[in-house]
């Protein structure tokens, strides 16, 4: 039958030539739209939130950890919010976006819990600001678990894999998203490296420092304040966290987080901020071309069969355990 790929995921490779077939790509795009529509219903039922399905669905779901750099994403969201609100970006240049976060943190992990609180407060402030209505929304979805993943990953168009280069052992979320037709914005870290090799550099939004550049920064004495001073957008975003914009005017609420960013920033979020903002225009230009975006999404699916757990187990049998399957 046509469903052999379910048990032999590398058969997805057969889709590759269809990325050139406009009619196929349009059907693929319609499936993604249907998945977005379904997630809007899921989110209404489970979280009681209203989502505009005619926005770019942009997702960052994973454990909350400083090395994974949810801070980088929320600072970028804050910067975009400030630019839209001030009129710095013209209305016709705005790509309406919905940003979804999902993350759990260890109970004693103070900065991680504080980051979740900040995301929730940015969400609250943005959702109550009529100046950005229909242009930008942020949701911190509670209780990230497999059920949420099963609903959100197929609905996602842009996936965030923005950890500091050298820190992620592999990641599996990145594979799930590529397999489900999302494009990835990511660093050269963990399995992002192999995903990019498989799907093609043209079909992956790469940004940020390499492992070698990170090592050189540690060796030379990394100074985050330098980046804060050098990039006005970064400075503005951090200043908005510091000045109480997201904490009802209370400047103390986020002072531990702000102090960490400006004096320590062990995972070099500030150093990668400019590059991260830089790639957004590339992402938005491609998103404006629905057919081209979906062509690249098809190529991501077609080349993700390699990340099947069956293939991975066969690799273990051969290279690690030196044995053969039982049947």
Residues near ligand PLP, by CB under 6 A: 62-63, 144-146, 149, 171-173, 176
Closest CA to 46 of 185, 116, 150, 194: 150
- CB 155 to ligand PLP: min, Å: 14
- CB 150 to ligand PLP: min, Å: 8
> At CA 276, angle to CA 274 and CA 280, rounded to 5?
110
Give whole-number Cα distances, 257 to 64, 95, 239, 247, in Å: 14, 29, 12, 13
Q: Considering beta carbons, is residue 208 or 224 the nearer one to ligand PLP?
A: 208
Take residue 125 and report the two structure tokens written for it: 């402030």
Torsions phi, psi for 50 (to 5 deg)? -100, 125
Classify strands 183-186 and 205-206 as parallel, antiparallel or unpaired: parallel
Q: Considering beta carbons, is residue 69 or 176 the nearer one to ligand PLP?
A: 176
Take residue 105 and report the two structure tokens written for it: 């943190």
| 187 and 164 Cβ atoms separated by less than 8 Å | yes
- CB 63 to ligand PLP: min, Å: 6
Classified as helix, coil or strand, 292 is helix
Take residue 85 and report the two structure tokens written for it: 């609100």
Q: Considering beta carbons, is residue 292 or 310 the nearer one to ligand PLP?
A: 310
In the complex, which residue's CB is closest to ligand PLP? Answer: 173
Classified as helix, coil or strand, 86 is coil
Q: Considering beta carbons, is residue 51 or 195 the nearer one to ligand PLP?
A: 195
Q: Which residues contact 318 (CB under 8 A, 6 or more apart)?
A: none
- CB 307 to ligand PLP: min, Å: 12
- CB 144 to ligand PLP: min, Å: 5
First to last CA, the chain: 23
Q: Considering beta carbons, is residue 146 or 327 the nearer one to ligand PLP?
A: 146
- Quote the distance between the C-alpha of residue 63 and its chain's center: 13
Q: Considering beta carbons, is residue 63 or 124 the nearer one to ligand PLP?
A: 63
Classified as helix, coil or strand, 322 is coil
Q: Considering beta carbons, is residue 66 or 83 the nearer one to ligand PLP?
A: 66
Sign of CA dihedral 248, 249, 251, 255: positive
Q: Considering beta carbons, is residue 168 or 265 the nearer one to ligand PLP?
A: 168
Take residue 264 and report the two structure tokens written for it: 């320590």
Q: Considering beta carbons, is residue 40 or 61 the nearer one to ligand PLP?
A: 61
Closest CA to 163 of 73, 235, 261, 236: 73
Take residue 220 and report the two structure tokens written for it: 């030379």
| 224 and 258 Cβ atoms separated by less than 8 Å | no
- CB 205 to ligand PLP: min, Å: 16
């Amino acid at each position: 039958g046509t469903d052999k790929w379910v048990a032999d995921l590398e058969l997805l490779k057969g889709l590759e030539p269809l990325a050139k077939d406009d009619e196929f790509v349009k059907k693929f795009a319609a499936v993604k739209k249907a998945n977005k529509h379904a997630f809007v219903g899921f989110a209404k039922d489970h979280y009681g939130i209203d989502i505009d399905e005619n926005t770019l669905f942009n997702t960052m779901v994973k454990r909350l950890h400083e090395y994974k750099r949810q801070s980088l994403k929320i600072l970028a969201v804050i910067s975009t919010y400030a630019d839209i609100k001030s009129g710095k970006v013209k209305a016709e240049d705005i790509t309406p976006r919905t940003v979804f976060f999902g993350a759990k943190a260890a109970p004693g992990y103070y900065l991680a819990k504080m980051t979740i609180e900040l995301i929730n407060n940015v969400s609250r402030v943005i959702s109550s600001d009529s100046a950005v209505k229909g242009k930008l929304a942020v949701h911190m979805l509670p209780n990230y678990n497999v059920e949420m993943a099963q609903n959100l990953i197929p609905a996602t168009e842009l996936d965030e894999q923005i950890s500091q280069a050298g820190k992620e052992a592999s990641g599996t979320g990145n594979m799930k998203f590529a397999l489900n037709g999302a494009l990835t914005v990511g660093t050269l870290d963990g399995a992002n490296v192999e995903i990019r090799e498989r799907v093609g550099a043209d079909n992956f939004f790469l940004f940020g420092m390499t492992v070698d550049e990170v090592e050189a920064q540690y060796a030379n004495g990394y100074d985050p304040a330098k980046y804060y001073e050098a990039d006005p957008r970064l400075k503005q975003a951090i200043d908005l966290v510091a000045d109480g914009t997201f904490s009802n005017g209370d400047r103390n609420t986020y002072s531990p987080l702000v102090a960490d960013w400006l004096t320590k920033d062990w995972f070099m979020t500030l150093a990668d901020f400019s590059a991260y903002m830089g790639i957004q225009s590339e992402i938005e230009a491609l998103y404006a071309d629905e057919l081209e975006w979906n062509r690249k999404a098809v190529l991501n699916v077609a080349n993700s069969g390699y990340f099947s757990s069956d293939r991975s187990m066969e690799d273990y049998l051969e290279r690690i355990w030196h044995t053969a399957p039982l049947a």
